[in-house]
Structure 1
Amino acid sequence: MLESGFDFALPWLLLALPLPLLIRARHPALQGSALWLPFFSRWQQLANSEQPTRDPRRRLLLWLIWLLLVLAAAQPRWVGEPISQPRSGRDLMLVIDVSGSMEATDLPLNGAPASRLDVLKQVVGEFIERRTGDRLGLVLFGERAYLQAPLSFDRKTVRQFLSESEIGLAGAQRTAIGDGMAMALKHLHDSPAKRRAMILVTDGANNAGSLTPEQATTLAKDETVTVYTIGVGADEMVVNDWPFGKRRVNPSAELDEDALKAIASATGGEYFRARDQDALAQIYQLLDQLEPAASDADAVRPQTALFYWPLLLAFALALWRWLVLLWPPRRAAT
């Protein structure tokens, strides 16, 4: 591989440097040809002045402007050192439930009360940062499903879109698991990746949408997409039920674990149960092992365009010449 340094993107354009000489040699009559020019009278005076346009300094200036224009057209650039860019050949869609039930605070975040979605943002965000070489996408679903982030190698942007998600953004009253899966499959359909996978996170059961989880699972099998499912929510939570006092409830009573297990089993994935923040973090660490990040890497070389420097200099010289020719300094009267 070539070392870093200066080169031209279109070096063959440098062959245009002697073009003015070739044109003049082949068509000498052009030297006396008439051209329509603005400020013609001023140009005519200059042609008849004591300092003709054949002044070597002016000719040298014209050649310098031409040289700079040709250099700019050849697109000079600085090519940097090769940078390793891992590629896993995997496309991974994150399908996250943002229905109203994700507002429950049964999964504390670092010991402080937080919603299930806030815990997901923390844990899944760290997971996204580790997915070097994967193309990641994000689908949010509630009563509806929509694409929050398309498949991209830009992990920072995907994590930012996740952090900006809010409860009820896709409808708060019901949960369309099947539609969430279908939206992710739609964007994986034309993917050229060698391996395609989906991570589905929910705390409820499918009770809305056009497709059932069973129908979406059939589509995932047809598309050979592996689906990992995660059910979130604690098994027990103490609530203050005034005026009857505190009582224990099951905040995950609506979680349809059987459906999530069936989805994972049918597509070659696995089902996981996250009852607290630590368990959720361990699940995503296990997913790192099941779907390992890239080890092979392609080398890319950063390039910095430099064409605008000779172009700007040519423009400045041309402007200066134009101003000097049209408005030369007046000689003092004798």
Structure 2
Amino acid sequence: MSFRLHWAILLLLLLIPIAILIWQWCRRRPAVVMPFDHGKPGQGRWLQGLLNVAASLPALLLIVVILILAGPIQLTEPEVKRRLTNIEFCVDISGSMMATFGEGNRYDASMKSIDEFLEIRQGDAFGLTFFGNEVMHWVPITTDASAIRHAPPFMRPEVAPPMFGGTEIGKALLACQRRLVETDNGDRMILLVSDGFSFDLGNGNDMDIANQLKENNIVLYAIHISETEIPDPIINIAAYTGGSAFAADDVAGLASIFGRIDSMEQAQMERTSADAVDYYRPYALAGLSIMGLALVGSLGMRYTPW
């Protein structure tokens, strides 16, 4: 427990009531001669002590008032909270994402799995980026995932502009990186969902992108939603950043991959710093108690030498 007022000033103020207390208990009082017949006069020490206690109550109350005005504070217990992970969904909306996949197409299955992933990762922050030959940031990184859940009808492959017809994963990853480096706290992750090969990852570009992601503490998890093999550049980038690449050839496999990513990137818990809060309760109770005793003492515990 401490006070908002500087301790040196507090001590100086406390000297006033302390001096009053010392004066009250040490001062000499005039003696009063009382006539006694055949009796021995008593010393009255117990009565004098009781009178001194009653007379000391105002000084004690002044001490409590000074302590309250000094602003007593107490540190709260540090809390344990979930460490934030900033997750950027990077979803391919090229024409091939319209291929049949389960009861719908690859795009529908991907967005449904993302919606389920949002539910199990409550407490994290999410962003959504669509890409083809161009990139569109649909939802900024936020803890409110409602905009992502309402996004599927608006950027379906069949309604997307023509410039989204191809697949440029390298361009999309760099665009997602620029979004994630703007975040101030928490871990950073890109979750890539695509079904094709990207020509802009050749000629060593995959490792250049991997180096950039690693330098910015961004982990890549890639889901290749196709029956074909995962492109080597995607595997290289994911592995180099500490993530992994998965192949999903059916709906059940896609759902299990999202669950596996969640288990691999489990939410970390961290203790928050203690907060300083006002702590007036004990001083207020002490002040009220002293005021009550002073009121009672004023009725019969007064020093009257006549």
TM-score (norm 1): 0.52
Residue 156 of structure 1 and its aligned partner are, at CA, apart by 1.7
**Residue 148 of structure 1 aligns with which residue?**
138
Contact persistence 1:261–1:270 (CA under 8 A)? yes
| Matched residue SS, 1:292 | coil
Root-mean-square deviation (CA), in Å? 2.7
Q: Does 1:215 align with 2:215?
A: no
Residue 121 of structure 1 and its aligned partner are, at CA, apart by 1.4
Matches within 5 A, 1:304-315: none
The amino acid that maps onto 2:184 is P
User: CA separation in 2, counterparts of 1:278 and 1:130?
Assistant: 17
Q: Does 1:273 align with 2:247?
A: yes
Residue 225 of structure 1 and its aligned partner are, at CA, apart by 0.5
Relative to structure 1, is the Cα distance of residues 85 and 276 closer, same or farther in structure 2, using a 3 angstrom cutoff? farther
| Matched residue SS, 1:133 | coil
The amino acid that maps onto 2:199 is N
Relative to structure 1, is the Cα distance of residues 86 and 277 closer, same or farther in structure 2, using a 3 angstrom cutoff? farther
Give unpaired runs (5+ residues) of structure 2: 1-78, 273-306
Matches within 5 A, 1:32-47: none
User: CA separation in 1, counterparts of 2:271 and 2:144?
Assistant: 16
User: CA separation in 2, counterparts of 1:192 and 1:233?
Assistant: 35
User: CA separation in 2, counterparts of 1:140 and 1:157?
Assistant: 14
Relative to structure 1, is the Cα distance of residues 99 and 86 closer, same or farther in structure 2, using a 3 angstrom cutoff? farther
Contact persistence 1:95–1:138 (CA under 8 A)? yes
User: CA separation in 1, counterparts of 2:116 and 2:153?
Assistant: 11
Alignment partner of 2:225 out of 232, 250, 261: 232
User: CA separation in 2, counterparts of 1:184 and 1:297?
Assistant: 29
Alignment partner of 1:258 out of 212, 218, 232: 232
Identity of aligned residues (%): 26
User: CA separation in 2, counterparts of 1:118 and 1:297?
Assistant: 39
Relative to structure 1, is the Cα distance of residues 155 and 294 closer, same or farther in structure 2, using a 3 angstrom cutoff? farther
Alignment partner of 1:127 out of 88, 113, 117: 117
**Residue 128 of structure 2 aligns with which residue?**
138
Alignment partner of 2:91 out of 82, 93, 96: 96
Residue 213 of structure 1 and its aligned partner are, at CA, apart by 3.8
| Matched residue SS, 1:190 | coil
Map Cα deviations across residues 52-80 of structure 1 (whole Å, 9 max, x no partner).
xxxxxxxxxxxxxxxxxxxxxxxxxxxxx
Residue 161 of structure 1 and its aligned partner are, at CA, apart by 2.2
Contact persistence 2:213–2:219 (CA under 8 A)? yes
Contact persistence 1:85–1:297 (CA under 8 A)? yes
Q: Does 1:182 align with 2:177?
A: no
The amino acid that maps onto 2:130 is L
User: CA separation in 2, counterparts of 1:173 and 1:156?
Assistant: 27
Residue 217 of structure 1 and its aligned partner are, at CA, apart by 1.9
User: CA separation in 1, counterparts of 2:83 and 2:152?
Assistant: 22
| Matched residue SS, 2:126 | strand
User: CA separation in 2, counterparts of 1:157 and 1:293?
Assistant: 22
| Matched residue SS, 2:113 | helix
Contact persistence 1:139–1:184 (CA under 8 A)? yes
Between Structure 1 and Structure 2, whose CA radius of gyration is higher? Answer: 2
Matches within 5 A, 1:1-334: 87-105=82-100, 107-108=101-102, 112=103, 114-167=104-157, 169=160, 171-207=163-199, 212-234=205-227, 252=228, 256-293=230-267
Relative to structure 1, is the Cα distance of residues 93 and 297 closer, same or farther in structure 2, using a 3 angstrom cutoff? farther
Residue 117 of structure 1 and its aligned partner are, at CA, apart by 0.2
Contact persistence 1:178–1:215 (CA under 8 A)? no
**Residue 298 of structure 2 aligns with which residue?**
none
User: CA separation in 2, counterparts of 1:288 and 1:256?
Assistant: 20
| Matched residue SS, 1:166 | coil
Higher share in helix: 2
Residue 291 of structure 1 and its aligned partner are, at CA, apart by 1.6
Relative to structure 1, is the Cα distance of residues 213 and 148 closer, same or farther in structure 2, using a 3 angstrom cutoff? farther
Contact persistence 1:143–1:208 (CA under 8 A)? no
Contact persistence 1:92–1:196 (CA under 8 A)? yes
TM-score (norm 2): 0.57
Residue 207 of structure 1 and its aligned partner are, at CA, apart by 3.0
Residue 226 of structure 1 and its aligned partner are, at CA, apart by 0.6
The amino acid that maps onto 2:87 is L
Residue 288 of structure 1 and its aligned partner are, at CA, apart by 1.2
User: CA separation in 2, counterparts of 1:148 and 1:256?
Assistant: 26
- How many residues are treated as equivalent by the alignment? 191
User: CA separation in 2, counterparts of 1:295 and 1:158?
Assistant: 25
